[in-house]
Amino acid sequence: MAVRSATSDDATRVAELLTELGYPAVADEVAERLAYWLPDQASRLLVAETGGRVVGSISMHAIPYLERTGCWMRIESLVVDSGLRRAGAGRALMAAAERQARAWGCLQIEVTSKRSRANAHAFYRRLGFDDACERSGRFIKELEVST
């Protein structure tokens, strides 16, 4: 299993993976997103490959704290091809994300996951993550995009 930085050539496969995760996307949309993701110094998109095929991806951001010195990493998405789960791609991507967090000087990593994804929650716990929902709420407001 090899992990590498994504390139614009990965747009089609990343779109397929995002769609599988439940966030429908097409290659053109993902290519447009990669145009602003890839040059962003506080963001990374990594892919896992086996046999020359992309089998997973992870996207992450470093976000500075104001309430203390340092920053934290937010994993924005993690997906592994459903037919290839439990083969090490997710673990390899998470290990690479943790290395990146340390390189950025992050003090903490956050990942969110829908309550219905019990297998994902068990995976994160095995990697040492704690479910913090007992300590704090997460509030979301969708904004209308003006065109």
Given a cut of 80, is residue 112 above it in pLDDT? Answer: no
Q: Write the DSSP assignment of the chain as a string of letters.
A: -EEEE--GGGHHHHHHHHHHHT----HHHHHHHHHHHTT-TTEEEEEEEETTEEEEEEEEEEEE-SSSSSEEEEEEEEEE-GGGTTSSHHHHHHHHHHHHHHHTTEEEEEE---TT-HHHHHHHHHTT----TTT--------PPP-
Tens of pLDDT, residue by residue over 57-93, are 999 999 999 999 999 999 999 999 888 778 788 899 9
Reported confidence tier of residue 2, pLDDT bands at 50, 70, 90: very high
The mean predicted confidence, pLDDT, of the chain is 88
Tens of pLDDT, residue by residue over 26-59, are 999 999 999 999 999 999 999 999 989 999 999 9
Reported confidence tier of residue 4, pLDDT bands at 50, 70, 90: very high
Reported confidence tier of residue 136, pLDDT bands at 50, 70, 90: low
Q: What is the pLDDT of residue 138?
A: 67
Residue with tokens 């065109």: 147
Reported confidence tier of residue 105, pLDDT bands at 50, 70, 90: very high
CATH H-level superfamily of 2-126 = Gcn5-related N-acetyltransferase (GNAT) (3.40.630.30)
